[in-house]
Amino acid sequence: HVQLVESGGGSVQAGGSLRLSCEISLYIYSSYCMGWFRQAPGKERAAVAAHYTGTATTYVADSVKGRFAISEDNAKNILYLQMNSLQPEDTAIYYCAASAPYLGSPSTPLSASLYYDWGQGTQVTVS
């Protein structure tokens, strides 16, 4: 199992930026997916971005493409979400997640069904 702890959330003005961090503790090192999801008040949890370690491939949801970027520091086991040009509709609790070991490039990397371990979430508020 994987432990994940998010940090970096806060309150910013529209047009501002934040960088979220997710500290990841692994017991077995292998190819797997890592992702960022968000849930706004009264809304379902939605995918934001994902990363597949096997090919170092990133995937970004259309809703944030061009504004958000996902990256990983393998040496430090930290997953980042850089958020630029933030808008009020980005207000949500942001969660990081990790899949079970995955042997090939996922066909649906933004699908929540791939992920089994989740962090506690960090609040992002844009006004």
Kindly write down the DSSP assignment for every residue of 99-116, as one continuous string: ESP-SS--S-TT-GGGEE
CA 87/CA 89 separation, integer angstroms: 5
Spans of the chain below 50 pLDDT: none
Q: Which pLDDT score, from 0 to 100, does residue 18 have?
A: 98
Q: Which pLDDT score, from 0 to 100, does residue 106 have?
A: 86
Q: Which pLDDT score, from 0 to 100, does residue 27 have?
A: 55
Q: Which pLDDT score, from 0 to 100, does residue 117 have?
A: 92
Long-range contacts of the stretch 1-4 (C-beta < 8 A, 24+) = 1/27, 1/117, 2/26, 2/27, 2/98, 2/117, 3/117, 4/96, 4/97, 4/98, 4/117, 4/118, 4/119
Q: Which DSSP letter does residue 28 get?
A: S
Q: Which pLDDT score, from 0 to 100, does residue 113 have?
A: 93
Q: Which pLDDT score, from 0 to 100, does residue 28 have?
A: 53
Q: Which pLDDT score, from 0 to 100, does residue 2 have?
A: 80
